[in-house]
Amino acid sequence: MPIPNTARPPERADRTALAQLLEPASIAIIGASRDTSRIGGVALDHLQRLGYQGQVYPVNPRYAEIAGLACYADVESLPAVPDVAVLALGADEVLPQLQRCHACGIRAAILYASGFAEAGEAGVARQAALTAFARESGMAIAGPNCMGLANLTTRAITAFATTFRAYPPQDGPGAVSLLTQSGNVCAIVYATGRQMDVGFHQFINTGNEACLDYADYLAYLADDARTGAVVGYVEGLRSGPRFIDAAARLRAADKPLIVLKAGESEAGSAATQSHTAVLAGNQAIYRAAFAQVGAMQAGDPTHLTDLAFLSGFRQRSAGRRVVVASVSGAMGALSADLLSAAGLDVPCLPEPVQQRLQAAVPEIGSVANPVDLTGQLFNRSGLAYAVLDNLAAVDGVDVIFLYATAYLLDRVADELIDVAGKTNRLIVVATTGEPASRARLAAAGVALFPDVARAAKALGTYVGWLGTQARTAHWMALRAQAADRPRAEQLPAGPLDEYQAKHWLAGFGVPIGVEAVAATPADAARAAESLGFPVAVKVLSPDIAHKTEVGGVRLGLRDAQQVREAAAAVVAAATHAKPDARQRGVLVQQMASGACELIVGVTRDPVFGPAMTVGLGGIFTEVFHDVAHRLLPVDRAMAREMLASLRGYRLMTGFRGKPAADIDAAADAIAALSDAAMALGGSLAEMEVNPLLVREAGRGAVALDALVLTQQPNHDGDRQ
């Protein structure tokens, strides 16, 4: 397996150099070829055939001219300094050629070559030298190991993807920018998007990201007036905080960010590591990050394309309530099933609406929802208009979903266009075949899909994205406030014992119970009598995080003798299991009971920084993995959302007569743990309350056990 590249790219890319990279007015192709099947010939062919109006300079000492263009022996011979140099060269030639480009004043470059961090120790060293050069020179360098870039608006197509021959760019400007860490995925999404008539602006394959990383490009696109949406493919991010900043700017500007993340399975994660030399992060944390910045997450390349297509109709209102109309009863029922599975509602239409439909179209089939247009659509002009016009006026409907064959769709296209002109609601049509009316329907604001399942899946994700802007703004404001707060007094690196951890957390509002430290069994018995029985006795050691595994816990002790015996036993068991562990006696803790137990933990994700996990204790966490994740900070409102998202949440609300838990107290404790974690900044390694006992409603919560583990401050990860 290749050694991953760990060198960090520059913290900020120069925007002027990035503009020259992504919007070049002149391009030099170093290693240009007359052979249009070779990498050095494909891009040159694209530039000439697809309408690029800027200056193109082929560079290759073997030729005097290529395809009618003067060819130069070296970069020093160019008559002018180009905006960008494309290096179609081998890995060993890249750095020397970049140094020559920089000496000539060139500020941006694109590197096709492989043989860097993905290619073993020699490649890692080669990439480290490249990164160092970029830092020193300030050049904006795309790649290496990338397919290249393409500005489809200006036709500055330097990518060697042959898909541009089969699917030329659209006429006129596009609004969707592609940003992927895989050249093939970039080409696939572009091709499927063009089949759906998606208009693209930028086509960016980041490659190994030795010099410019994903967040650099995303930040540029967030501020790019021509970009209306970003469609991305991610294998692993280098800078989570900078990605968050750029993604949040996109959401604030109402520019959809649609992301497909590789590595969701164990096999996929392993493939990602060997393909990009970037270790895939914790997938649950990635999903949380995407949700918190308001990104739509796609499940596959086709879903990614469909979301890009549907985002082009966001000037129309939409919501979860969908009415289905179909020329086939079976397809209507199937559509309703698929929409429901995608998280949408297919409500029964109100009785007055059903009566109006029956009065307007007596020969219609079912009118409850789905609405069955039946084969009468063949015979009766105006039937589609009568039905759809009535549906468009229903107050309890957000989206109209229509299924029709291509032939029938063409027959009723004028009626559908008339209805679309009278309503601002989203109209989605799923069809079979290729209707001749596709362009007319799209111009009228009708979203046309070639498959019912694809349409339903895309609509469910898209509708879920609507309304996330406020949540993203709320979290970004919390994040900014947390960055301005003073840090807590630095704790010594390493673990605290349970008593120290709980009392430190209590300073931030984490509720703790009644307990005492005892040095001897006799002291433990006296403490228990003072606290009141029953009690628990635990070995107290910063080096033993999981006390039950070493026999270090005794519960439900009801008299002094039991406590003395238990105190001696837990110390002996812990000493036997971990003879080198530091001990300072035992912790005597008053027993407590409640409605439920939670596990609340914070870990430091290597990409995004501190991240919280909340779950119901016991088998819900261990067997069902019923947990919720958020990046910090988390406040009370977010904590309640986390709890409500758990599958077992009903157990906290008084399920089948059991007492309801104090959800407000639980949320307050979760938010307090977040505050404590944020106060540690870069010295946070791990923090956990397990269990957090939640008592009955109105009676609060209490941390029964706690862990705080610190490290030497990590200032690179301190900003979150």
Question: What was the pLDDT predicted at 706?
Answer: 95
Average pLDDT over residues 425-453: 96
Q: From CA 29, how far away is CA 383, in angstroms rounded? A: 59
Average pLDDT over residues 241-266: 91
Question: What was the pLDDT predicted at 270?
Answer: 44
Q: Is the pLDDT of residue 77 over 50?
A: yes
CB count within 10 Å of CB 385 equals 17
In terms of average pLDDT, the best of 10-24, 271-285, 625-639 is 625-639
At 378, the pLDDT band (50, 70, 90 cuts) reads low
Considering Cα of 269, then 270, then 271, then 276, what sign does the dihedral take? positive
- The H or E element spanning position 628 is strand 627-631
- The H or E element spanning position 356 is helix 351-360
Question: What was the pLDDT predicted at 717?
Answer: 44
Burial class (CB in 10 A: 0-12, 13-18, 19+), 344: buried
- Tokens representing 127 are 């990439």
Domain 596-717, CATH homologous superfamily name and number? ATP-grasp fold, B domain (3.30.470.20)
Write down the architecture of domain 15-311 according to CATH. Answer: 3-Layer(aba) Sandwich (3.40)
Q: How far is CA 63 from CA 98, 100, 615, 628, 710, in A?
A: 21, 20, 67, 61, 62
Annotation: CATH topology of 514-590: Dna Ligase; domain 1 (3.30.1490)
Q: Is the pLDDT of residue 277 over 80?
A: no
At 265, the pLDDT band (50, 70, 90 cuts) reads low
Q: From CA 662, how far away is CA 674, in angstroms rounded? A: 19
Question: What was the pLDDT predicted at 11?
Answer: 52
Q: From CA 480, how far away is CA 195, in angstroms rounded? A: 42
Question: What was the pLDDT predicted at 5?
Answer: 41
**Residue 684: left if φ>0, alpha if ψ -120 to 50, beta else—which one?**
beta
Q: Is the pLDDT of residue 190 over 80?
A: yes
% of the chain beyond a pLDDT of 90: 83
pLDDT digits (tens, 9 = 90+) for 39-53: 999 999 999 999 999
On whether the CB atoms of residues 111 and 126 are closer than 8 A, the answer is no
3-state secondary structure labels for all residues of 12-73: CCCHHHHHHHHCCCEEEEECCCCCCCCHHHHHHHHHHHCCCCCEEEEECCCCCEECCEECEC
Summary mean pLDDT of the chain: 92
Q: Is the pLDDT of residue 281 over 50?
A: no
Query: Which phi and psi (to 5°) does residue 281 adopt?
Result: -80, -175
Q: Is the pLDDT of residue 380 over 90?
A: no
- Tokens representing 30 are 């170093």
Question: What was the pLDDT predicted at 720?
Answer: 43
Q: From CA 494, how far away is CA 546, in angstroms rounded? A: 16
On whether the CB atoms of residues 399 and 322 are closer than 8 A, the answer is yes
Question: What was the pLDDT predicted at 489?
Answer: 78
Q: Is 649 or 489 the better-scoring residue by pLDDT? A: 649
For residue 350, whether the previous peptide bond is cis, meaning omega lies within 30 degrees of 0, is: no
Concatenating the DSSP letter of every residue in 562-617 gives HHHHHHHHHHHHHHHH-TTS----EEEEE----SEEEEEEEEEETTTEEEEEEEES
Q: From CA 536, how far away is CA 589, in angstroms rounded? A: 5
Q: From CA 538, how far away is CA 586, in angstroms rounded? A: 5
On whether the CB atoms of residues 679 and 567 are closer than 8 A, the answer is no
Q: Is the pLDDT of residue 715 over 60?
A: no
At 714, the pLDDT band (50, 70, 90 cuts) reads low
CB count within 10 Å of CB 313 equals 16
Q: Is the pLDDT of residue 169 over 70?
A: yes
Average pLDDT over residues 446-462: 98
Q: From CA 196, how far away is CA 451, in angstroms rounded? A: 12
CATH 3.40.50.970 describes domain 322-465? no
Question: What was the pLDDT predicted at 366?
Answer: 87
pLDDT digits (tens, 9 = 90+) for 462-508: 999 998 999 999 999 999 999 888 888 778 889 999 999 999 999 99
> Which residues, including other chains, have CB under 8 Å from residue 42's CB and lie 6 or more apart?
36, 160, 161, 162
Average pLDDT over residues 322-348: 96
Lowest mean pLDDT among 48-62, 133-147, 377-391, 598-612: 377-391
Lowest mean pLDDT among 374-378, 400-404, 430-434, 518-522: 374-378
Q: Is the pLDDT of residue 628 over 90?
A: yes
Q: Is the pLDDT of residue 532 over 90?
A: yes
Question: What was the pLDDT predicted at 498?
Answer: 96
For residue 633, whether the previous peptide bond is cis, meaning omega lies within 30 degrees of 0, is: yes
Question: What was the pLDDT predicted at 7?
Answer: 45
Lowest mean pLDDT among 100-109, 123-132, 363-372: 363-372
At 716, the pLDDT band (50, 70, 90 cuts) reads very low
15-311 and 514-590 agree in CATH topology: no
Instruction: Specify the DSSP class assigned to residue 281.
Output: -
pLDDT digits (tens, 9 = 90+) for 201-228: 999 999 999 999 999 999 999 999 999 9
Q: Is the pLDDT of residue 379 over 70?
A: no
Domain spans in the chain, listed from the N-terminal domain onward: 15-311, 322-465, 514-590, 596-717
- The H or E element spanning position 163 is helix 163-166
